[in-house]
């Protein structure tokens, strides 16, 4: 009897009012709210841009070539993610494993770049307490890094679940949701890279203030 109930439960198809997956709808709504979350921090960065009264200033400290490499790594992790989902839907286990773990490794490499960058900045005297640039920069990129870290952990769990056979083509939506989150952190970085690194890279001290680095 109980077995019958369990079987029925597993094959029952839930009908939703929109005809769409509620979980996917929830994820898109969450991502929409996260857009506003990051939008507020990016706006704050721009409001305080060029208003630091002491250094280090962006033109003294930002390393564009290195950040470009890490940006490229994150973009390629998105590519790996979309392939992982594609091959999971095709039920090709080996190659799905490869791409899921590729995303995890590429994400970890990106975080490695961020750790090196933060350490380098701290050595050169830029911390969240140093000036307005430091405060807004570390909060924004740190929050993004936090998102990436959560994504890495989530995808590592997905990789493990796939290895154990719990993630299959019939429940590929689990990976799709993780993928949506992962692509989202990628698009946030696309904006951060442009706004903080490329646009602000030549920012020095405000007019009338000499460039004195602590």
Partner 1 sequence: MSNLWKILTTHKGNGWWNLPETPQSNTNPKNEGPISISWLKKLWNLLSHGGVDHAGPTFYTIVAVFLAIVTLLELWIYTVKTLGAWLNPLLFLLSALKFIGVVAFFMHLRFDHKYFTIIFTFCMILGISVFISLLLLWSFAGLKP
7 part of the interface to partner 1, by CB under 8 A: no
Output 119 or 199, the one with its CB closest to partner 1: 199
Rounded to the nearest 10°, the torsion over CA 23, 94, 83, 148 is: 60
CA–CA distance, 81 with 104 (Å, rounded to integer)? 9
Burial class (CB in 10 A: 0-12, 13-18, 19+), 32: exposed
Told to check if 213 binds partner 1 by CB under 8 A, we report: no
* CA pseudo-torsion sign 173, 175, 181, 183: negative
Please, which residue, 13 or 207, has the CB nearer to partner 1? 13
**Three-state DSSP class for 75?**
helix
Number of residues that bind partner 1 (CB under 8 A): 67
User: Smaller CB distance to partner 1: residue 4 or 33?
Assistant: 33
* Residues that bind partner 1 in the complex, under the rule CB under 8 A: 9-10, 13-14, 16, 18-26, 28-29, 31-33, 35-36, 38-40, 42-44, 46-48, 51, 64-65, 68, 71-72, 75-76, 78-79, 81-83, 86, 89, 132, 161, 166, 170-174, 176, 179-180, 183-184, 186-187, 190-191, 193-194, 198-199, 201
């Amino acid at each position: 009897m109980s077995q019958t109930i369990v079987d029925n439960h597993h094959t029952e198809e839930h009908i939703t009012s929109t005809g769409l997956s509620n979980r996917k709808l929830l994820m898109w709504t969450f991502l929409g709210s996260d857009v506003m979350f990051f939008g507020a921090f990016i706006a704050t960065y721009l409001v305080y841009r060029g208003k630091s009264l002491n250094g280090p200033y962006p033109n003294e400290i930002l390393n564009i070539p290195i950040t470009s490499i890490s940006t490229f790594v994150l973009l390629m992790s998105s590519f790996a993610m979309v392939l992982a989902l594609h091959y999971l839907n095709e039920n090709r286990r080996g190659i799905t494993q490869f791409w899921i773990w590729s995303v995890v490794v590429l994400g970890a490499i990106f975080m490695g770049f961020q750790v090196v960058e933060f350490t380098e900045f701290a050595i050169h005297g830029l911390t969240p307490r140093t000036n307005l640039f430091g405060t807004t920069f570390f909060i924004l990129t740190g929050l993004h890094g936090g998102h990436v870290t959560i994504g890495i952990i989530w995808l590592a769990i997905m990789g493990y679940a796939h290895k154990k056979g719990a993630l299959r083509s019939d429940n590929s939506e689990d990976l799709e949701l993780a993928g949506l989150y992962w692509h989202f952190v990628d698009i946030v970085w696309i904006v951060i890279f442009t706004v903080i690194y490329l646009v602000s890279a030549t920012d020095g001290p405000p007019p009338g203030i000499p460039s004195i680095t602590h």
